[in-house]
Amino acid sequence: MKSITLSGVSKFLGSEKVIRDVDLKVNPGEFFVIIGPTGCGKTTFLKLVAGLLVPDDGEIYFDEEVVNDLSPSERKVRMIFEDHALYPHLKVHSNQGYSNLNFPLRIMKLGLKEISQRVMKIIDRLGISERLFDRKPGELSEGQKQQVALGRALTIPPDVLLFDEPLRDMDPQTREGARSEILKAHEDFNSTSIYVTHDLAEGFSLGERVAIMKEGKFVQKGNPEEILSSPKNSFVESFIGSYQETYREAFQA
C-alpha cells in the first residue's frame, strides 16, 4: 500500500490553469473520493496522479518517492475510465492471441501459462461469466464493460487504483452491484484508491474521506459526516444542497 501526496501541484491545459496549487495526502490503503461539478478538474487531477500528465509546478509523492517523471507502469497505477477504454476489436478473453483481459500481460511478454493463470484468477474473483468470453465490447452491457475494464486493470496487481466516473452511464441496479465490486477489488488488492464522481450519493457512500473540488482546488476535505453536517462555505452548502438532509438521515440510520 502506498500513500499519495501532492505538494503545491498545478497544471495548465493551454492557457488555463486547471489544477491550482493543490496539497493533498491520501493515506495507504484508503478509499478517497473526489466530488465536484463537471469541468472542475477531477479527471486532470487523476491523470496527474496516474502519470498521464506531468505537473507544471509541485511534486507528487508515492510514499517518500517523487514520481513526477515516472510512467504509469513504473508507478504501478491502474486507471479505470468513464468510457472503460476497452479495445473494440478484441474479445473479452481468449487463450489464443490478444484479448481485452490479457492485453496488459501479453505486452509484458509473460509466458502463456502465467497469463492464463492470472486472467483466470481475476475472472473467478470478479465473477466474469464464461458466456462473455467470445463477445467484443460492442456486445456487452454497460455493467459488463465495467466488469471487464476492472478485471483488465487488476491482472497486474496495482499499488494505486484510480477511477474516473466508471459508473456514470449505468442503470441504478447495475451501479449498486458495480460499487460492491469496486470496493471488493480495493480491499482484496490492498490498493490505495482515488475515485472521482459528480454524483453525491455515490461519493458519500463509497468514500472513507471525501474532498469537494471547485475550479481546480479542494474547498473542503473530511469524512462524509463532517462535510454533510458542517459545510465549510457557501459553495459546499449549495453543492450538497437538497441531498444534505437525506444523507444525514442515511448516516444516522
Give the torsion sign (CA, 97, 102, 105, 111).
Answer: negative
pLDDT at 167: 77
pLDDT at position 85: 81
Residue 43 pLDDT exceeds 70: yes
Asked whether residue 125 carries a pLDDT value surpassing 90, the answer given is no
**Residue 169 reports pLDDT greater than 80:** no
Q: How far is residue 242's CA from residue 200's CA, in Å, rounded to a whole number?
A: 11
DSSP character at residue 173: H
Cell of 163: 477511477
Tell me which of 2-6, 103-107, 191-195, 240-244 is least confident. 240-244
User: What number of other Cβ atoms are within 10 A of residue 31's Cβ?
Assistant: 21
Host H or E run for residue 226: helix 224-229
| pLDDT for the residue 101 | 94
CA distance 179 to 113: 31
Give the model's confidence band at 75: pLDDT under 50 very low, under 70 low, under 90 confident, else very high.
very high
Residue whose C-alpha is closest to residue 166's, from 86, 81, 87: 81
Strands 65-66 and 192-197, by their bridges, are unpaired
Q: Looking at this protein, which amino acid is placed at residue 177?
A: G
Cα 1 from chain centroid? 16
Cell (9 digits) for 237: 452548502
CA 251 to chain centre: 24
- Give this prediction's pTM: 0.85
Q: Which residue has the higher pLDDT, 9 or 94?
A: 9
Cβ contacts of residue 80 below 8 Å, gap of 6+?
A: 146, 149, 150, 153, 161, 162, 163, 164, 166
pLDDT for 73 beyond 90: no
Q: Distances from the Cα of 77 to the Cαs of 2, 74, 93, 160, in angstroms?
A: 11, 8, 22, 5
Neighbouring CB atoms inside 10 A of 119's CB total: 22
Structural domains in the chain, sorted by start = 4-252 (3.40.50.300)
Amino acid at site 137: P
151 confidence band (pLDDT: 50, 70, 90)? confident
